[in-house]
């Protein structure tokens, strides 16, 4: 936590000293109207969908590149390099605990019966229970985020002691390499989700040990954050942005898969980033539990409890109310106006 805090403060200072490339206000207005953000190659964000559907009103988006991870995306927002970013809720908790001036405003990804992350082993693997993972290797995309939290929660619920949990080795591996590493025995288990999971299961020979939705039920796992000073200085822009984003999520939650995929393909084709739309063709659902991305207290409380048990937070260091607000989401009042 100390290293994280020092790194954040250094980054904040760098951003301030840079003195350029800040949020853009349209001439003649006092609030920012052009929002800088990072995207993802071959994917469509709900902010981009909101813009396509005309839900952002007088706001415009400015793509500044693609993010490398959720923690990187929200750090960019916290340091003013972008105006908003999204990450796993546990990563938001950690950054807030490091005194980052951020607030989560709407959920943007999660798990349900159609969209989830599974933890897979080979069909002939002797691993059948959590206890069988002691001394074994599990592949994850990064440490300190969604998958580590889910795996450790699974192990805890299955009765492993803290010392036993430490003996389960988490190995960082690019998601595109996970399937092969499991099949070749370089990993005993691996995390698979989305199109990578679907393609791996089509090829056969793998079975799930557990899934995140089995563990938690449908839940929103990650949120979009804004800086607190941005919210204070741009209340109208904030409401317009969050409203548009929430309506885009609700649109995807209520329209057919074919309509959503076709719209995603149209957005990718029209933005000229030299990328493939293959991944979006496997889209199944938003995975977001709350209508329009409404955030529930437990969607932060679960990860606060985990980080406290891991010794990364002091008891009471942060509370859910410190981390998020539904104040700008129209679905909080049962309205979309």
C-alpha to C-alpha distance for 253 and 247, rounded to whole angstroms: 10
DSSP string, 179-208: HHHHHTTS-SEEEEEHHHHHHHHHH--EEE
pLDDT at 144: 80
- Cβ contact 268:44 at 8 Å: yes
Q: Do domains 34-112+218-322 and 117-216 have the same CATH topology?
A: yes
pLDDT at 10 exceeding the cut of 70: no
Helix (H, G, I), strand (E, B) or coil at 10: helix
**Model pTM?**
0.86
Mean pLDDT of 221-247: 98
Report CA 146 to chain centroid distance, whole Å: 8
- Per-residue pLDDT tens digits for 173-210: 999 899 999 999 999 999 999 889 998 999 999 999 99
Q: pLDDT band for 222, please (50, 70, 90 cuts).
A: very high
Sequence ranges of the domains in the chain: 34-112+218-322, 117-216
Alpha helices in 43-102 (DSSP H): 46-52, 70-78, 89-97
Residue 11 has pLDDT above 50, yes or no: no
Q: Is residue 335 pLDDT above 80, yes or no? A: no
Phi, psi of 30, rounded to the nearest 5 degrees:
-100, -15
**Architecture label for domain 34-112+218-322:** 3-Layer(aba) Sandwich (3.40)
| Per-position b or e across 53-84, b if 16+ CB within 10 A of its CB | bebbeebebeeeeebeebbebbbbbbbbbbbb
- Specify the CATH number for 117-216; select among 3.10.200.10, 3.40.1160.10, 3.30.70.1560, 3.40.190.10: 3.40.190.10
At residue 23, the pLDDT reads 64
């Amino acid at each position: 936590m100390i290293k994280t805090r020092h790194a954040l403060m250094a980054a904040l200072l760098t951003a301030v000293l840079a003195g350029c490339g800040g949020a853009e206000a349209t001439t003649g207005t006092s609030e920012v109207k052009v929002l800088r953000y990072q995207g993802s190659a071959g994917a469509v964000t709900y902010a981009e969908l909101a813009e396509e559907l005309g839900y952002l009103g007088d706001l415009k988006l400015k793509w500044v590149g693609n993010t490398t991870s959720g923690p990187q995306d929200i750090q960019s927002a916290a340091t003013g390099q972008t105006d908003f970013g999204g990450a796993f809720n546990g990563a938001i908790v950690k950054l807030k605990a490091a005194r980052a001036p951020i607030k989560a405003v709407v959920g943007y990804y999660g798990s349900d019966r159609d969209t989830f992350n599974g933890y897979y082993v080979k069909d002939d693997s002797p691993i059948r229970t959590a206890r069988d993972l002691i001394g074994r290797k599990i592949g994850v995309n990064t440490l300190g985020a969604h998958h580590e939290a889910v795996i450790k929660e699974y192990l805890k619920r299955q009765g492993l002691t803290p010392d036993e949990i430490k003996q389960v080795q988490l190995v960082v591996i690019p998601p595109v390499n996970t399937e092969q590493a499991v099949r070749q025995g370089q990993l005993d288990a691996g995390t698979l989700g989305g199109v990578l999971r679907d393609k791996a299961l089509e090829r056969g020979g793998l079975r799930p040990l557990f899934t995140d939705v089995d563990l938690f039920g449908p839940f929103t796992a990650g949120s979009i954050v804004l800086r607190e000073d941005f919210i204070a200085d741009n209340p109208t822009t904030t409401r317009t942005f969050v409203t548009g984003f929430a309506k885009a999520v609700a649109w995807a939650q209520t329209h057919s898969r074919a309509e959503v995929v076709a719209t995603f393909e149209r957005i990718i084709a029209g933005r000229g980033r030299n990328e493939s739309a293959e991944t979006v063709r496997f889209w199944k659902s938003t995975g977001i539990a709350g209508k329009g991305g409404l955030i529930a207290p437990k969607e932060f409380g679960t990860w606060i409890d985990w980080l406290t048990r891991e010794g990364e937070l002091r008891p009471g260091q942060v509370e859910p109310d410190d981390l998020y607000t539904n104040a700008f989401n129209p679905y909080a009042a049962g309205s979309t106006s």
